[in-house]
Amino acid sequence: MSQPIDLAPVNALDHTAFVGKFGSVFEHFPQAADGAWARRPFASPLALHDAMMDVVRELDAQSQCDFLNLHPLLSGANVRAGTMTSDSNAEQKSAGLDAMTAQQEAALDRLNTEYLARHGFPFIICVRHYTREGIFAALERRIERATQEERDEALAQIASITRGRLVERLNAPD
C-alpha cells in the first residue's frame, strides 16, 4: 500500500515553482497549473487535480476546442520519431502503437482523419487503459457520436490521463 502524499510542500510552492512542477501535466497547457495555483491549499491530490480540470472545464467552447487540438494524434510514426511530449510518447508506446504493421498504421491514419474531420479535434483516449485493439475499437465507435458527446468524452479521457501524470509528478523525488 502506498503512503499518503503530503501536499504541504506543494501548497508552499511559489507560483513559478508550482507551474514548473505541474505545468506539463496537461498537454502543452501550463495554464491548468497556472490557474490551479491560486486555488491552494489543496487537501488532497484529487483536490489538486480537480482544480486543474476546473481550469479546463471553465474555458469557453472555442478555447476548449483549441485546448483539445493541443493533443497529438495517435500515431506509430510519431512515437517512433519522438515528436510528442515525453508523456504522450511513453503512453502511446505502452499501448504498442510503435509496433503496428503498415496496414494498422494506415487504418489508424484513416480513422484519425475521419474523426478529426467530423469533430474538429483529435481522438483522445487514455491509452494506458486500453490494448491497441481496444483503442481501434473505441475510435471506430466514437467517430459516429455527436460532437458534444465526444467533447465530453475527450475531457473525461484527459482527466484520466492527467490524474496518472499528476500522481507521477507528486511521487517523483525533487
Q: Per residue in 119-161, pLDDT tens?
A: 999 999 999 999 999 999 999 999 999 999 999 999 999 999 9
| Grid cell locating 128 | 494506458
Q: Which homologous superfamily does the CATH classification assign to the domain defined by 67-166?
A: Oxo-4-hydroxy-4-carboxy-5-ureidoimidazoline decarboxylase (1.10.3330.10)
In the chain, CATH 1.10.3330.10 covers 67-166
pLDDT in tens, 65-114: 999 999 999 998 888 888 889 999 999 999 999 999 999 999 999 999 99
| Grid cell locating 82 | 519522438
